[in-house]
Structure 1
């Protein structure tokens, strides 16, 4: 194939940067552009942000494609958001005792600013310029809220490590209206002697259960919460613990087979 004899006319500055190499053993011509930033004369240059024209001006090239100015660097602009998590009065003493274990994950892992407001009985969280995760504030709030509901710090930290953990809360009266001694017996059936029933439910369903009077809080995955809730509802409705144990054993074995 002979080398092209006619090239498109270019400005002198642009044509001077084109080196035409004609190998002796090959008829094809190789073109090397030494100045990639050089533009043809018929293409409008992009006006920088400091120019007279605005950044919103759009330039159309010869093929009809729009060309925009480069985006500005907005990394220095940070929006500060604040969350306040109220702490129940009976959880203030455990909060003060466990505070050395609570704030390091929030400050070091999520890069949040944290303080304990003793007067207002709340934990205040705030983002800063060092916060990189967009969901860090929500994760921190879930972590502190889980501790305020009665979960241990080690169990609540799992909310920061994993994304598929949730907390579900319901009351005994949502299942069945019980009052007086009937309510106390239902709570006793859920807890069991020395908490054995509750521990059995937690181990079989791989969840964490907190009994706070007539309220029940469950921490775990979606399917695991469903399994623990079904067992607790059966106990509230009056099923004997032995039957609930049997159902939990069957379901737990099926879950192990899946994995």
Structure 2
């Protein structure tokens, strides 16, 4: 079958239709841009975006203005256990005062939902105020006194640790009651001794134990309570606490 005539060309036609090749890579193509008239440059936008150019040709912009964006209101709701509602109502003036005066939060007690609601406002300045307020109210719901919970607002290195007796040893019935009795002691003397030696606050809520204090202090109190749960006599725990308390005094 003969080839189509459109595909057959003479060598002369091929030479005329040849596409010129790009310049070699070694050849550099330099294009000079026309010099811009710096003095004729017009500022873009208003006064806030006015641009000036220094001697070296670098742009200089004026300092940005502090423009407050839209207010973002954040809320938190802290549920209150039923057995802590009466203490909350009794100590309410002592609770909302540091939240409003110190943290500049808006607070209300929702009796219907049994919760304390916190909200930021335009007067709130601290970024972590809402979290601090929530920790303060939670500490009160766990059973700590208001004076101890207020320390969470004033100090940054305080924490709350919670654990149960069954996390240390599985005890049931009378054995569990005896373990709680060993931790508390007669008239709460053992618990007070642990608090004074470790500089913490301890709350016994049935089989749950809450400790408020610094990181190292919580460790000291937890070790003493764990020893009592495992069956160590209180006299031995007292001796260990005296040793730890004397070492802490030497450090200071």
TM-score of the pair, normalised by structure 1: 0.77
- Contact kept, 8 Å, 1:44 with 1:59, in 2: the verdict is no
Partners of 2:234 and 2:40 in 1: CA distance? 81
1:158 is aligned to: 151
- Contact kept, 8 Å, 1:43 with 1:61, in 2: the verdict is no
Matched, 1:86 2:79: yes
Instruction: String of CA shifts for 1:65-103, please: whole Å, max 9, x gaps.
Output: 453453242336321110000110000000000001100
Query: What SS class does the counterpart of residue 91 from structure 2 fall into?
Result: helix
Using the TM superposition, give the Cα deviation of residue 148 of structure 1 relative to its aligned residue in structure 2, in angstroms.
0.3
Partners of 2:205 and 2:237 in 1: CA distance? 21
TM-score of the pair, normalised by structure 2: 0.80
Unaligned runs of 5+ in 2: 1-37
Q: Number of aligned pairs?
A: 215
- Contact kept, 8 Å, 1:48 with 1:69, in 2: the verdict is no
Instruction: String of CA shifts for 1:35-88, please: whole Å, max 9, x gaps.
Output: xxxxxx65967545578xxx6x98765536453453242336321110000110
Task: Tell me: CA distance 1:46–1:184, structure 2 relative to 1, closer, same or farther (3 Å).
Answer: farther
2:128 is aligned to: 135
Matches within 5 A, 1:54-69: 61-63=54-56, 65-69=58-62
Matched, 1:233 2:226: yes
Unaligned runs of 5+ in 1: 1-40
Matched, 1:100 2:93: yes
2:67 is aligned to: 74
Matched, 1:177 2:170: yes
Instruction: String of CA shifts for 1:104-157, please: whole Å, max 9, x gaps.
Output: 000011000000000101000000000011111111000000000000000000
2:104 is aligned to: 111
Q: Give the structure with higher Rg (CA).
A: 2
Partners of 1:223 and 1:208 in 2: CA distance? 13
Partners of 2:72 and 2:43 in 1: CA distance? 31
Task: Tell me: CA distance 1:87–1:161, structure 2 relative to 1, closer, same or farther (3 Å).
Answer: same
Partners of 1:85 and 1:133 in 2: CA distance? 20
Query: What SS class does the counterpart of residue 167 from structure 2 fall into?
Result: helix
1:208 is aligned to: 201
What do you get for the CA RMSD once the two structures are aligned?
Answer: 2.1
Partners of 1:151 and 1:88 in 2: CA distance? 14
Task: Tell me: CA distance 1:174–1:69, structure 2 relative to 1, closer, same or farther (3 Å).
Answer: same
